[in-house]
């Protein structure tokens, strides 16, 4: 997710000013203590015994399964839960998972929740209430001074450079032994529970050494001087009785599963049973967790590709046959393509799946992509754009009628190299992820999983699901799907096209 269009355009016309919040000083560096007696650690040790430092992976392609796996991990937690997200929505799934973590804290589990501030305004007071529990700590990364209304937007404008350095990382670690990493935020639209929109995405449930990397990722941000205790941002938490009522309401919602369209694990036994079924399907392979650390100072220039981008660059430069990209937001300029050197390697096919203007939730992001789309095509990259009526929707969702009335969008961030290695994480293949955001990517060296994800990406590139975009003999864009052909962005009105075209003239793609 990114910044609203009019706001973004206005920001580009302003000069960042000094101000905003000062960094906070933490009393000490907090770490995770891994306990030897947890169910999850025992599962990890037993299932990975004799595998010489490899990890176990299970792909979470279904939104519903992604939700249930998180619910199961919370139910199975015995010692600690460390959750780090860009968005945590105040909706049925977000409140349910928060309520389950509250119940875990009631039984003695230490819960730490770290959220980026850009989308935290709508849930801030609920987070402040959770933070009053002795077993729960909540921190907000890189916050604006103002917490709501027009003052919040003014804070963003007046502190433009700092506010643009977002924590886009997404990790979820339980008992230091099992974790989930990928592209999903926490919210109904990511799990297939919303009535109007579904963000197609991909996560990975993992055991083994890569979970240590997820823990390191969490701690680097948790202990950072820009991670504010939520109590410092919301000092006027409602009176104690109101806080108690809020927490009791969360507990009640978690126990009754109010608003959930699927039954979730109700206790530890059910959580362990759910996880056992998933862990029975693990693929054991070498893996590496790569993450970007926060900027040393928020004023330093963001001109150098970050660590996650460099890791993908190395994999791309090593590929000899095929690179398959699945990215909700796609922008590669001349500088990036020169570094990747994909245009001059004989026999290398590069194909990218991304959103069309009809499926992109942000016209601004599509405009930045549209600005560079002809160039990317001219460099030999094949581009496919998701259709709003993609038949694959029927496979992604079990919800009756959604695919004929709701909006489906691509939110996944995966890359497959030579069908021997793959990357899943929070990294969009665009300039914001390369230079500005903190991102997390999981690199898995498994021909089995690489083939599985590659076939999934290729299936969505099929004409029943996507338009293939190309340049005709005159150098003009065309969209093709079977026998159907278009010469302008398909299935959208003139006003949306006009907005995208206008915004594409602005050189702001780095901030999209």
> For the residues of 377-399, what is the DSSP string, one character each?
HHTT-EEEEE-TT-TTHHHH---
User: What whole-number distance in Å separates Cα of residue 200 and Cα of residue 189?
Assistant: 9
pLDDT in tens, 443-501: 999 999 999 999 999 999 999 999 999 999 999 999 999 989 999 999 999 999 999 99
Predicted local distance difference test score (pLDDT) of residue 239: 66
Report which of 43, 65, 41, 44 is spatially closest to residue 55, judged by C-alpha positions.
Answer: 44
pLDDT in tens, 378-406: 999 999 999 999 999 999 997 778 998 99
Average pLDDT over residues 500-509: 90
Lowest mean pLDDT among 278-282, 331-335, 485-489: 331-335
Residues 251, 257, 263: CA angle, nearest 5 degrees: 140
User: Does the structure show a pLDDT above 80 at 76?
Assistant: yes
Greatest C-alpha distance within the chain: 71
Lowest mean pLDDT among 3-12, 37-46, 185-194, 195-204: 3-12
Average pLDDT over residues 27-52: 84
Q: Tokens 């979820």 map to which residue?
A: 172
Return the active site residues: 168, 170, 175, 411, 413, 418
Residues 52-69 as b or e (16 or more Cβ within 10 Å = b): eebbbbbbbbbbbbbbbb
pLDDT in tens, 141-167: 999 887 777 777 787 778 888 888 999
**What helix, strand, coil percent values describe the chain, rounded to 5?**
40, 20, 40
User: Does the structure show a pLDDT above 70 at 33?
Assistant: no
Helices and strands per DSSP (H, E), number in the chain? 20, 21
In three state form, how does the secondary structure of 218-275 look?
A: HHHHHCCCCEEEHHHHCCCCCCHHHHHHHHHHHHHHHHHCCCCCCCCCCCHHHHHHHH
User: Does the structure show a pLDDT above 90 at 297?
Assistant: no
Query: pLDDT exceeding 90 applies to what percent of the chain?
Result: 78
Predicted local distance difference test score (pLDDT) of residue 24: 83
Question: Which structure tokens are listed for 385?
Answer: 């754009």
pLDDT in tens, 419-432: 999 999 999 999 99
pLDDT band at 289 (very low <50, low <70, confident <90, very high): very high
User: Does the structure show a pLDDT above 70 at 376?
Assistant: yes
User: Does the structure show a pLDDT above 90 at 275?
Assistant: yes
User: Does the structure show a pLDDT above 50 at 12?
Assistant: no
User: Does the structure show a pLDDT above 50 at 16?
Assistant: no
pLDDT band at 35 (very low <50, low <70, confident <90, very high): low
pLDDT in tens, 168-225: 999 999 999 999 999 999 999 999 999 999 999 999 999 999 999 999 999 999 999 9
Predicted local distance difference test score (pLDDT) of residue 9: 46
Residues 396, 456, 89: CA angle, nearest 5 degrees: 45
Predicted local distance difference test score (pLDDT) of residue 450: 98
Strands 110-116 and 413-417: unpaired
Q: Which domains does the chain have, with CATH numbers?
A: 5-14+39-279 (3.30.870.10), 301-511 (3.30.870.10)
Three-class secondary structure of residue 283 per DSSP: strand
Predicted local distance difference test score (pLDDT) of residue 14: 41
Q: Label residue 446 exposed, middle or buried (CB < 10 Å: 0-12, 13-18, 19+).
A: buried
Angle at which helices 63-76 and 92-106 cross, to 10° = 10
């Amino acid at each position: 997710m990114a910044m609203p269009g009019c706001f973004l355009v206005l920001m580009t016309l302003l000069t960042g000013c000094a101000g905003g919040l000062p960094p906070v000083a933490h009393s000490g560096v907090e770490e995770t203590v891994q306990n030897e007696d947890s169910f999850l650690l025992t599962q990890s040790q037993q299932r990975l015994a004799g595998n010489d430092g490899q990890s176990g992976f299970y792909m979470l392609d279904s939104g519903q399964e992604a939700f249930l796996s998180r619910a199961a991990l919370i139910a199975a937690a015995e010692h600690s839960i460390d959750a780090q997200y860009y968005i945590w929505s105040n909706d049925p799934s977000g409140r349910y998972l928060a309520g389950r973590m509250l119940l875990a804290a009631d039984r003695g589990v230490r819960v730490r929740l770290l959220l980026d501030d850009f989308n935290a305004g709508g849930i801030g007071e609920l987070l402040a209430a959770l933070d009053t529990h002795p077993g729960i700590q909540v921190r907000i990364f890189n916050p604006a001074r103002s917490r709501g209304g027009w003052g919040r937007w003014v804070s963003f404008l007046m502190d433009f450079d700092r506010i643009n350095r977002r924590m886009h990382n997404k990790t979820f670690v339980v008992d230091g032994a099992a974790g989930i990493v990928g592209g999903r935020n926490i919210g109904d639209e990511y799990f297939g529970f919303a009535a109007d929109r579904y963000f197609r995405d991909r996560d990975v449930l993992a055991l083994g050494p890569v979970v240590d990397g997820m823990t390191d990722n969490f701690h680097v941000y948790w202990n950072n001087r820009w991670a504010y205790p939520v109590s410092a941002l919301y000092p006027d938490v409602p009176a104690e009785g109101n806080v108690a009522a809020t927490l009791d309401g969360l507990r009640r919602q978690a126990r009754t599963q109010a608003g959930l369209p699927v039954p979730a694990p109700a206790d530890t036994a059910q959580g362990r049973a759910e996880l056992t079924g998933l862990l029975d399907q693990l693929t054991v392979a070498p893996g590496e967790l790569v993450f970007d650390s926060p900027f040393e100072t928020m004023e330093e220039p963001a001109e150098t590709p970050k660590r996650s981008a460099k890791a993908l660059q190395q994999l791309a430069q090593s590929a000899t046959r095929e690179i398959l990209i699945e990215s909700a937001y796609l922008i590669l300029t001349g500088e990036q393509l020169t570094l990747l050197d994909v245009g001059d390697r004989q026999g290398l096919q590069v194909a990218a799946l991304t959103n069309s203007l009809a499926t992109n939730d942000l016209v601004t992001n599509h405009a930045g992509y549209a600005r560079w789309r002809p160039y990317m095509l001219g460099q030999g990259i094949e581009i496919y754009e998701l259709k709003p009526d993609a038949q694959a929707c029927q496979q992604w969702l079990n919800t009756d009628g959604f695919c004929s009335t709701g909006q489906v969008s691509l939110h996944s961030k995966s890359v497959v190299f030579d069908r021997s290695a793959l990357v899943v994480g929070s990294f969009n293949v665009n300039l914001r992820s390369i230079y500005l955001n903190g991102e997390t990517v999981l690199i898995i060296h498994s021909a089995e999983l690489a083939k599985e994800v590659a076939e999934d990406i290729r299936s969505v590139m099929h004409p029943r699901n996507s338009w293939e975009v190309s340049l005709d003999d005159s150098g003009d864009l065309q969209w093709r799907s079977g026998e159907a052909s278009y010469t302008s962005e398909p299935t959208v009105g003139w006003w949306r096209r006009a907005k995208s075209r206008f915004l594409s003239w602005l050189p702001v793609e780095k901030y999209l």
